[in-house]
C-alpha cells in the first residue's frame, strides 16, 4: 500500500551542492553564470541540477536582490491592442532569464496603485506600465524604486523611460483622410479622464488635441465636435448616440480607439444607418478586430508589437544600468484605410 507521500521538500541549492560534492557557492555561481568556475565544476553542477530537477527558489533570490521577474501592467485586457504590446514584450524577453507576469486589468487610479504596489512588494526586477493613469509624481516615485518603462504616456522623465506613439500625427492622419474624402462634419469620440493632472500626457488627450489641430488646419474649426466618453465599447456606443442626436448629424466619426469604434458601429446600426454610405467611421490602434473583414475598420496602426519590443529593450537596458540617461522612443503611426470610410452622402 502507498503511504500518503510526505509533502516532498523542494530541492535546494544545498541538495545540489551535496550531490555534486561542491559548495553552495559554486552552485550559485553556476546558476548565475558568474565569474570564476572551472569547466569541470560547471559540468558537475549542471549534471547535479538536472539529475535532481532543481529549480531556484525565486523568493530566496529576491531576498538577495533579484527575482528575474518583470511585471507588466495592462489597463484593459479586453482591448486587443494591448495584447499586441504584450506579444512584442514577451517575444523580446523570451531569450533572457527573465519571466513576465501581468498585473490584472485595473480601472481607476486606486486599483492601479494597488497593482503597482503589489508588484513592487513582490520584488519585480523591472516593470512596464502600459497607459497608466497615475499622476506623474507617483510614476516618478515608483520608477525611483524599481526600473520602470512607461508605455503610451507623453512627456519625458528623468527617472523612467518611455515608449509612445505620435498620437498628434495619428489623429491628423485620420482627419486629413476624411477631409480628403470630402467630409466636413467630422466628429471625434474621446476618452475623458477626470484627473486633470496627467491629462496632458495621456494619449487620449493628445489624440483629441491632434483632432482639433488638424481640423483647424483644414479650415474646419467650426465643425469641431467632440463626444467625451471612454475608450471602450460602451463609450463608443454612448458617444455615437450623442453625436447622432445633433441637429446636424456628423458625416464621419473618428473614434480614438478601435474598441470605441466598434461601439460606434453598434449605435449606427441601431439607428438604421449604413456605414460608410450614410456615415464614415475610423478607429485607432488597428487591432485584429479592425482587420476582421465583416468589420473592416479604417484605423491607425500603432505597431503594438514594436512598442512592446522597444519597451522590453529599454527595460532590460535600464535594469543593466540604472544610471543611464532615460530614453524616449516615439513611433510613427500609419493610416490603414478600409471599408468604413468613404465620401460623405451627396
Partner DNA sequence: ATGAAAGCGCTAACAA
Partner DNA sequence: TTGTTAGCGCTTTCAT
Q: Say whether residue 53 binds its own copies (CB under 8 A).
A: no
Q: Computed from CA positions of residues 246, 250, 253, 254, in that sequence, does the dihedral angle turn out positive or negative?
A: negative
295 binds, among its own copies, DNA, none (CB under 5 to 8 A by kind): its own copies
Q: Alpha carbon of 263 to those of 71, 220, 233, 282: distances in Å?
A: 31, 25, 4, 12
Q: Quick check: 315 and 149 in contact, CB under 8 A?
A: yes
Taking the C-alpha atoms of residue 183 and residue 237, their distance in angstroms, rounded to an integer, is 21
Among 1, 3, 5, 248, binds its own copies (CB under 8 A): 5
CB of 188 to its own copies, least distance (A): 21
In the complex, minimum distance from the CB of residue 182 to its own copies, in angstroms, rounded to a whole number:
24
Among 162, 233, 286, 299, binds its own copies (CB under 8 A): 233
Quick one: what does residue 37 bind among DNA, its own copies, none, with the CB cut-off 5 to 8 Å set by partner type?
DNA
Question: How far apart are CB 219 and its own copies at their closest, in Å?
Answer: 33
The CB-of-56 to DNA minimum distance in angstroms stands at 4
Question: Site residues for its own copies, window 83-112 (CB under 8 A)?
Answer: 83, 86, 90, 99-105
Cα separation, 225 vs 215, in Å, equals 10
Is residue 121 a contact residue for its own copies (CB under 8 A)?
yes
25 vs 288, which CB is nearer to DNA? 25
Nearer to DNA, 65 or 294 (CB): 65
Phi/psi for 334 (5° steps) reads: -135, 140
Task: Choose between 78 and 324: whose C-beta lies nearer to its own copies.
Answer: 78
Question: How many angstroms separate the CA atoms of 251 and 278, rounded?
Answer: 7
Count how many residues are written for the chain. Answer: 346
Q: Is 9 in the site for its own copies (CB under 8 A)?
A: no
Distances (CA, A) of 105 to 56, 138, 237, 257, 310: 29, 19, 22, 17, 22
Single out the residue of 27, 137, 151, 42 nearest to residue 88, CA to CA.
151
Alpha-carbon gap, residue 321 to 19, rounded angstroms = 36
Q: Pick what 67 binds: DNA, its own copies, none; C-beta below 5 to 8 Å, kind-dependent.
A: its own copies
Residues of this chain that bind its own copies (CB under 8 A)? 5, 8, 10, 55-60, 62-63, 67, 69, 71-72, 77-78, 80, 83, 86, 90, 99-105, 117-118, 120-123, 144-145, 233, 262, 265-266, 269-270, 288-289, 292-295
Amino acid at each position: 500500500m502507498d503511504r500518503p507521500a510526505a509533502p516532498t521538500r523542494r530541492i535546494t541549492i544545498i541538495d545540489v551542492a551535496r550531490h555534486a560534492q561542491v559548495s553552495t557557492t559554486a552552485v550559485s555561481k553556476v546558476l548565475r553564470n558568474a565569474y570564476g568556475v572551472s569547466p569541470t565544476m560547471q559540468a558537475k553542477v549542471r549534471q547535479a541540477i538536472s539529475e535532481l530537477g532543481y529549480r531556484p527558489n525565486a523568493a530566496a533570490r529576491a531576498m538577495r536582490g533579484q527575482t528575474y521577474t518583470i511585471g507588466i501592467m495592462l489597463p484593459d485586457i479586453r482591448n486587443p491592442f494591448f495584447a499586441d504590446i504584450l506579444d512584442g514584450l514577451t517575444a523580446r524577453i523570451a531569450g533572457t532569464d527573465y519571466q513576465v507576469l501581468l498585473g490584472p486589468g485595473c480601472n481607476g487610479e486606486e486599483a492601479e496603485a494597488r497593482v503597482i504596489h503589489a508588484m513592487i512588494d513582490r520584488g519585480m526586477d523591472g516593470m512596464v506600465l502600459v497607459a497608466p493613469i497615475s499622476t506623474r509624481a507617483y510614476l516618478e516615485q515608483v520608477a525611483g524604486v524599481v526600473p520602470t518603462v512607461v508605455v503610451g504616456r507623453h512627456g519625458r522623465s528623468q527617472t523612467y523611460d518611455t515608449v509612445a506613439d505620435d498620437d498628434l500625427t495619428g489623429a491628423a492622419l485620420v482627419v486629413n483622410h476624411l477631409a480628403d474624402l470630402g467630409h466636413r462634419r467630422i466628429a471625434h469620440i474621446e476618452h475623458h479622464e477626470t484627473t486633470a493632472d496627467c491629462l496632458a500626457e495621456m494619449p487620449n488627450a493628445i489624440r483629441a488635441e491632434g483632432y482639433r489641430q488638424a481640423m483647424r488646419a483644414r479650415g474646419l474649426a467650426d465643425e469641431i465636435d467632440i463626444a467625451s466618453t471612454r475608450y471602450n465599447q460602451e463609450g463608443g456606443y454612448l458617444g455615437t448616440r450623442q453625436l447622432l442626436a445633433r441637429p446636424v448629424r456628423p458625416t464621419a466619426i473618428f473614434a480614438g480607439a478601435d474598441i470605441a469604434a466598434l461601439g460606434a458601429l453598434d449605435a449606427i446600426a441601431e439607428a438604421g444607418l449604413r456605414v460608410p454610405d450614410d456615415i464614415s467611421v475610423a478607429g485607432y490602434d488597428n487591432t485584429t478586430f479592425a482587420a476582421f473583414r465583416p468589420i473592416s475598420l479604417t484605423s491607425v496602426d500603432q505597431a503594438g508589437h514594436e512598442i512592446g519590443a522597444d519597451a522590453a529593450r529599454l527595460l532590460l537596458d535600464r535594469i543593466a544600468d540604472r544610471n543611464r540617461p532615460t530614453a524616449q522612443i516615439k513611433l510613427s503611426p500609419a493610416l490603414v484605410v478600409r471599408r468604413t470610410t468613404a465620401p460623405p452622402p451627396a
